[in-house]
Amino acid sequence: MNDSLAVATGGLTKRFRHQVAVDAIDLAVPRGAVYGFLGPNGSGKTTTIRMLLGLVQPTSGSRELLGREIPRYAGHVLPRVGALVEGPAFHPYLSGWDNLERLDAADRYADPRTSRARIGAALERVGLAAAARKHYRAYSLGMRQRLAIAAALLMPRELLVLDEPTNGLDPQGTREVRHLIGDLAGDGTTVLVSSHLLSEVEQVCSHVGVMHIGKLVAQGPVAEVRGGAEARVRVSTDRPREAAAVLSGLGITDVTVARGDVLGALGTVEVEKVVPALVADGVPVLGFVVERPSLEDLFVGLTGEGFDVSG
């Protein structure tokens, strides 16, 4: 049992006949983190989430939520876990409030005496208090996703598991959900959010795990994982050959010249030394940028494949 982790797996594996959907993965989601579970569709993210929640039985391996083994302690743990898996399902002709009321009434752990207060608090939390009495069919996609998150928050939750929460949303809806995830994390809730949209994860997550064909190919704090790829410098100048020579002299490697810009891999060279060295050699610096590798760069480096960064 590891109480410092909200989610932990050991060799978690799922086979469907001859196909390995999830291949011996060791997830480690720290408490209080926003963990971006990344991978293209079909990489094994949803199957993993279903195994974590006890919806699918693993072929082998272990899993713990909030320091407790699943499924042995599922009855104790799962009431403290909120989840949104494969999109919300609500009654279109009921209001947002009435939909939540029906869900709360079906929860054997929920106290009916506090139902109204908890529903109101959940709707307020996701910014839907003003639309509580509107029919669900009149909700935008972003409002529908926020209502689904409100459903997951009807009871106090220590862990929130969201499977593709921005799937199908327009930019405004995506921003709404992203801000909500950030707010929830700010209150101390651990959030595991799976996504195939790298740009969204990069803006909100503290930790990341990258799935590729059923394998977990990278995991850790975003800065640490991304730090595995080298930063590069880009110098804009009207004397590129001289600039290239200065960069090489500093120890910057892989120096190339392209359309007046000089690029190179920074490596262990201290970035604050670059511009003074250029100026000291009489090289005019019209622009200087340190290009940090993005999560997209990381993913391509790990798997050799492109990735959907926008939708």
Q: For residue range 94-125, list pLDDT tens digits in order.
A: 999 999 999 999 988 899 999 999 999 999 98
Rounded to 5 degrees, what are φ and ψ at 102? -65, -45
Helix (H, G, I), strand (E, B) or coil at 307: coil
Confirm whether 303 is domain-assigned.
Answer: no
Query: CA-CA distances (angstroms) from residue 272 to 8, 217, 250, 275, 277?
Result: 40, 33, 12, 7, 9
Residues 169 and 282 in one domain: no
Q: Within 10 A of 161 (CB to CB), how many other CB atoms are there?
A: 26
Same domain, 111 and 163: yes
Residues 186 and 262 in one domain: no
Residues spanned by the domain of 258: 232-292
Average pLDDT (253-275) is 88
Retrieve residue 253's tokens: 């490697």
Query: Both 71 and 209 in a single domain?
Result: yes
Whether residue 45 is predicted with pLDDT greater than 80 in this model: the reply is yes
Total domain count, the chain:
2
The reply to whether 195 and 237 lie within a common domain is no
Question: What percentage of the chain has pLDDT greater than the value 90?
Answer: 54
For every residue of 40-78, DSSP letters joined together read -TTSSHHHHHHHHTTSS--SEEEEEETTEETTTTHHHHG
CATH number at residue 258: 3.30.70
**How do residues 52-77 score in pLDDT, each as one tens digit?**
999 999 999 999 999 999 999 998 99
Query: Is 302 a domain residue?
Result: no
List CB contacts of 240: < 8 A, sequence separation 6 or more.
257, 260, 261, 262
Same domain, 216 and 110: yes
Cross-strand bridge partners of residue 152: none
214 within domain boundaries = yes
How many Å apart are CA 128 and CA 203, to the nearest integer?
23
Three-class secondary structure of residue 306 per DSSP: coil
94 and 148 in a single domain? The answer is yes
pLDDT at 135 over 80: yes
The answer as to whether 308 is a domain residue is no
* Interval 222-228 mean pLDDT: 73
Separation CA 23–CA 216 (nearest Å): 8
282 or 297, which is more confident?
Answer: 282
Residues 258 and 218 in one domain: no
In a domain, 311, yes or no: no
Q: Is the pTM of this model over 0.85?
A: no
Q: Alpha carbon of 284 to those of 101, 258, 271: distances in Å?
A: 67, 17, 17
Q: Are residues 115 and 195 in the same domain?
A: yes
State the pLDDT at residue 309.
40
For the record, the structure tokens of 301 come out as 């480096």
Asked if 180 and 123 touch (Cβ cutoff 8 Å), the reply is: no
| Domain C-terminal end among 226, 261, 280 | 226
Q: How confident is the model at residue 311 (pLDDT cuts 50, 70, 90)?
A: very low
DSSP classification of residue 110? S
| Residue 276 CB contacts under 8 Å (≥ 6 apart), including other chains | none
Q: Could you tell me if 287 and 252 lie in one domain?
A: yes
Residue 255 to residue 155: CA distance in whole angstroms: 56
Residue 39 maps to a domain? yes
Q: Are residues 80 and 192 in the same domain?
A: yes
The DSSP H or E segment spanning 96 is helix 96-105
On the 0-12 / 13-18 / 19+ scale of CB atoms within 10 A, 67 is middle
**The two structure tokens encoding residue 244:** 């290239």
